Amino acid sequence: MRLDFYDLFENWEIAIAKKLVTNHIQNWKCLRLVDYEDIMWECLSHWHMVKGTYSGEKNASRQTYMGRILRNKLQDIIRRQNTDKRKIWHQTVPLEEEIEDDENSPTLLSQLDAELAKETYRDSCTSLDLHIGFEVAKRDLNSKQQHICDLLQNDHSISHISKILATPRSTIYDEIERIRKIFESAGLGDYLK
């Protein structure tokens, strides 16, 4: 059917259409997803519908006029392709829908629940390991350092800790630096602020 369609056009019309379509396909990724012959058919059918509007009054040749018409049509196709691509990203999928066509296939919701459970388990294991690591490292601290560490964990400021312990802030900073070194030697340096 398309071969007969080309018979409606002169060779120069087909040559212009091929050149423009080829150039646009090379420059626009979204056009590479569309069949070349479909783009040619759409451009040439559009030209067939509007070529009677050529008047020659604006000192443009018929070929120049066709080129302008086809460039505009190709831009319309590009806009349509990009719009269609965006629509795919905004489509919603019911969470209760099966992932595959099989009725025994898991639903998206069950897959999400399973992934969330795995992630929560990993996070809780990491958190528990971290807590145990801190408790073990705290045993290496003296009583004053342990007290400072407890106050820091309860979000007390350095000024407040200084008042509670009746110790200058510079001494508190020195003790915090010693605590940091003990924790770093226990492999917990990455978790300290």
Gyration radius (Cα) of the chain, Å: 36
* Chain center to CA of 182: 41
pTM above 0.75, yes or no: no
Mean per-residue pLDDT, 88-106: 67
Helix (H, G, I), strand (E, B) or coil at 107: strand
The rounded distance, in Å, linking the Cα atoms of 68 and 152 is: 72
**CATH code for 113-191?**
1.10.10
Q: What is the per-residue pLDDT across 17-46, written as a single tens digit (0 to 9) for each?
A: 999 999 999 998 888 888 888 999 999 999
Task: Confirm if 93 and 40 have CB atoms less than 8 A apart.
Answer: no
Start-end of CATH 1.10.10 domains in the chain: 113-191
Of the listed ranges 48-57, 68-77, 133-142, the one predicted with least confidence: 133-142
